[in-house]
Amino acid sequence: DLEEVPTKENYIAGFRHTHASLLFEAGATIKEVQTRLGHSSSKTTLDIYTHVTPVSYTHLRAHETELHL
């Protein structure tokens, strides 16, 4: 299956996604990540790169506990 063959573009996209995810986990703002990735709109950054990772979920649960949610 040709979709499974690694390509330079796949590797670059993977690195960008990992980089963005790590920035968000480290507390970077949407605007900071948008600028770093060169997106003209924060909507692009939000639509593509924000998702719940194990680390972000742990942070969310900790904040919920702090706020008694």
Per-residue pLDDT of the chain (69 residues; tens, 9 = 90+): 456 677 887 778 888 888 888 888 888 998 999 999 999 999 988 888 876 566 666 666 776 666 665
Per-residue pLDDT at 54: 64
CA separation for the pair 64, 69 (Å, rounded): 5
The pLDDT score that the predictor gives to residue 22 is 86
Cα distances (angstroms) measured from residue 52 to each of 6, 9, 21: 25, 24, 9
Residue 12, pLDDT score: 82
**What is the reported pTM?**
0.62
Contact 56, 25 (CB under 8 A): yes
Residue 7: predicted pLDDT: 81
